[in-house]
Structure 1
Amino acid sequence: MAQQKDYYTVRYQTNIEKLRNVLNDLPPFCREFFRGIENNTSILTRVNYAYDLRLFFEFLTNEMEDFSGLKSNELTLDHLNMVGSTHIEMFLEYITFYTKTNDDTYKEYQNSECGKARKLSAIRSLFSYFFKKEKLEKNIAELVEIPKIYEKPIIRLEIDEVARLLDLVESGEGLTDVQKRYHQYTRTRDLAILTLFLGTGIRISECVGLNASDIDFDVNGFKITRKGGNEVILYFGDEVRETLLDYLEERKNVTPLPGHEDALFLSLQKRRISNRAVQNLVKKYSQYISPLKKISPHKLRSTYGTTLYRQTGDIYLVADVLGHKDVNTTKKHYAAISDEQRRKAARIVKLRDDE
């Protein structure tokens, strides 16, 4: 268990360093803001807020005449009082598409309505904090409408696609010659990872953070650290059990690098596998099974959630297993399945035989 704590501690400390670095580019009053929201937000949320606020203040000082001649880290609360709802609306329009040049590198950026809403959330949080502290005359950010986000349908694998995906990982048939050369070394590991996603609905960060010592085969369960740092036990079925045991047997022949001895899933470099590596392996296999769907680890999690809901009809169970704090989040994603089933039932029942 100590090794898992080390992993999450390292990740936490990395994000703390990121936040501190970005704070150097932000107005001094932002330090008070981030201290004030520390107990109610995760470190990842605060890091994302910092990036979004940096972009907002750069926009004000570079694009708005009212703040020209100033640098972002020179702004004061008096300047924040000068910001109007129009400034924020112009910012949201600006980030639809904008360019930046850093060290002679030209880059283009775009934001969807979802990205705009997230950035507005950071701005709203900042204004709300200082308005409650009576350091702002009014909370003008509340006057800005949140961009309307259109719900996208859940992308998931169907039952036959799941079976074909696992068959592909086992056999390697259809892979390129280059992929097959690596496949002989990673087949057992990749099968265990994909089966774990499809059989438990685990998040990618939870999967990467797993340690061998977290697994208890006596109860077919393993301990994970959820968002927010709380620890829970997830249970798995016999199919997951078999693939994990096969992988652990093969793993005995690998000597991990120092500091990675207890990491469950190892890369070919004998260190804890990374998020990017897991994303790549999911993409590699799934593109052969369902080329029109962009399948990611999160889509495999959705596949599990859909299967569990269809078989149990218990939205609260799905929310609990997936680790959703609010069951409404679960309903939003899976309620459509109930509607689909009801429509199917309506078509099945015939009141009169066709003549």
Structure 2
Amino acid sequence: MSRKKNISVHNKSDKPDNIVTKENEIIEQCLKIESQLPPFMKDFFLYLKNGVALTTRLAYSEDVLFFCKYLVSHTELTDADHTTLIKIETFQQMTAKDINRYLGDFCSRYSIEKEESIKIMENHNRALARKKSSLAVLFKFLYRDGLIKQNISDGLNPIRLPKPQPDAIKRLEIDEVARMIDCVDLGEAFTEKEKTYWQKTKLRDKAILMLFLTYGLRLSELEQLNISSFNFNRGEFKIYRKRGKETAMPINRTCETVIKEYMANERPQSSALDEEHKDALFLSLQRKRMTTRAIRNMVKKYTALVLDTTAKNGYSPHKLRATAATSLIQQGFSIYDVQNLLDHDDVTTTQLYAAHKKDVKRQIVKNFEWLD
């Protein structure tokens, strides 16, 4: 059994090594998937490499591989016994009806059989829409490159997605945020056994929650933060957003205070850490950079306390992003300023939060009385 080789980073970009390493892991996943797909798709992979975000490239590649496995195992469209052996002729003979059947009949509900179990997979419309989008991009590319004679993506059935409703936005109310911060500060909601762990992580957890609540950071943006990301003399810190955009964020007094308290009183000294984690801001008790999964579970734990539910049903970091957006708008900041802070591609996304005002229906009815 071969040993896994250590990976070192020779980094000449402005990105921190941890981000470059993370991106390399995604690239390796993409290459592994691409090696399982037919050779005629090589130029399509090149298009994905240069034309879309890295995570989108991975998602599209996974969807195309899933489709090719379906062709081999569940159809008579190809006589190939492996996805790499599928010929372009299979795609040339395919019609929109074949794709619609795949999306409507197979993808909506299928099973994964293992040695001792069978797992039933149910896909809702949002997941189906992504699979449809991945195949539409593939067929458009093959048509553009002259590998197939018609663009069958035009004949794909529409997949209806529910229009986002402001009332359906899940977020914490102002008083719930206050109670959550009290939970972190006091630990009164925990059992004696849980308090042992809380005592060791309360400053870290408070700093994480305040960053989420103040800036509406994405989970990946927070996980990537380093000590070197912060320049307290300038009053700012650096984050890397979707598609590798580097952004300097001003730091307010609250966040500066909680981060400095964590670094001074709880975070292990960098000299006591492995080289890989010396610069990581938020560390686990194992003295390693916190994973996105660990951060998500921590947020769910604290939000569950104020929502009076189980940790499994607590709010995710994305709900804290919604909390930050709605709170900022209710404080009077313009939707365009909030759009810029949260890095929304489309202002209509921000407008959803602007429409979500507490007790707005009650206020309307209260001020519209027919009788004195």
Same fold (TM over 0.5): yes
Q: Which residue of 2 aligns with 1:138?
A: 150
Cα distance in 2 between the residues matched to 1:83 and 1:202: 43
Q: Which moved more, 1:34-43 or 1:193-202?
A: 34-43
Distance 1:339 1:129, change over 3 A: farther
AA at the equivalent of 1:347 = V
Cα distance in 1 between the residues matched to 2:364 and 2:163: 25
CA contact (8 A) 1:4 1:211 kept: no
Distance 1:135 1:320, change over 3 A: same
Match of 2:365 among 323, 347, 350: 347
Q: Which residue of 1 aligns with 2:221?
A: 206
SS of the aligned residue for 1:312 comes to coil
Q: Does 1:314 align with 2:325?
A: no
SS of the aligned residue for 1:66 comes to coil
SS of the aligned residue for 1:148 comes to coil
Cα distance in 2 between the residues matched to 1:179 and 1:32: 53
CA contact (8 A) 2:225 2:282 kept: yes
CA contact (8 A) 1:120 1:146 kept: no
How far is the alpha carbon of 1:140 from its aligned partner?
1.0
Cα distance in 2 between the residues matched to 1:252 and 1:121: 44
Cα distance in 1 between the residues matched to 2:60 and 2:224: 24
AA at the equivalent of 2:132 = L
Q: Which residue of 1 aligns with 2:109?
A: 97
What's the C-alpha RMSD, in Å, of the aligned pairs?
2.3
Q: Which residue of 2 aligns with 1:73?
A: 84
How far is the alpha carbon of 1:217 from its aligned partner?
2.2
Q: Which moved more, 1:255-264 or 1:165-174?
A: 255-264
Q: Which residue of 1 aligns with 2:122?
A: 110
Across the two proteins, how many residue pairs are aligned to each other? 352
Q: Does 1:223 align with 2:238?
A: yes
AA at the equivalent of 2:286 = Q
Q: Which residue of 1 aligns with 2:291?
A: 274
SS of the aligned residue for 2:290 comes to coil
Q: Does 1:195 align with 2:210?
A: yes
Q: Which residue of 1 aligns with 2:176?
A: 161
CA contact (8 A) 1:200 1:236 kept: no
Match of 2:99 among 88, 93, 114: 88
Match of 1:119 among 131, 143, 152: 131
AA at the equivalent of 1:184 = Q
Report 1:316-335 matches (<5 A). Answer: 316-331=336-351, 333-335=352-354
Cα distance in 2 between the residues matched to 1:268 and 1:224: 24
Q: Which residue of 2 aligns with 1:43?
A: 54
Distance 1:300 1:105, change over 3 A: same
AA at the equivalent of 2:290 = I
How far is the alpha carbon of 1:205 from its aligned partner?
0.8
AA at the equivalent of 2:284 = S
Cα distance in 1 between the residues matched to 2:369 and 2:255: 45
CA contact (8 A) 2:267 2:283 kept: no
Note the residue ranges of structure 1 that are not aligned, 5 or more in a row.
none
Match of 2:318 among 287, 293, 298: 298
How far is the alpha carbon of 1:345 from its aligned partner?
5.8
CA contact (8 A) 2:200 2:266 kept: no
Match of 1:257 among 244, 267, 274: 274
Cα distance in 2 between the residues matched to 1:164 and 1:319: 27
Cα deviation, 1:25-64, whole Å, max 9, x if unaligned, reads 2122222101023222011111111111111111122111
Cα distance in 2 between the residues matched to 1:113 and 1:300: 25
Identity, in percent, stands at: 32
Cα deviation, 1:73-97, whole Å, max 9, x if unaligned, reads 1112221111111211111121122
Q: Does 1:10 align with 2:15?
A: no
Match of 2:356 among 316, 319, 337: 337
AA at the equivalent of 2:76 = E
SS of the aligned residue for 2:119 comes to strand
- Normalising by structure 1, we get a TM-score of 0.92
Cα distance in 1 between the residues matched to 2:47 and 2:228: 37
**Higher RCO, 1 vs 2 (CA within 8 Å, ≥6 residues apart):** 1
Q: Which moved more, 1:222-231 or 1:243-252?
A: 243-252
CA contact (8 A) 1:23 1:50 kept: yes
AA at the equivalent of 1:336 = A
Cα distance in 1 between the residues matched to 2:182 and 2:84: 56
- Normalising by structure 2, we get a TM-score of 0.88
Cα distance in 2 between the residues matched to 1:24 and 1:304: 42
CA contact (8 A) 1:4 1:210 kept: no
Cα distance in 2 between the residues matched to 1:130 and 1:3: 36
Match of 2:74 among 50, 63, 73: 63
Note the residue ranges of structure 2 that are not aligned, 5 or more in a row.
1-10
How far is the alpha carbon of 1:180 from its aligned partner?
1.2
How far is the alpha carbon of 1:18 from its aligned partner?
0.5
CA contact (8 A) 1:113 1:149 kept: yes
How far is the alpha carbon of 1:338 from its aligned partner?
6.6
Cα distance in 1 between the residues matched to 2:37 and 2:80: 16
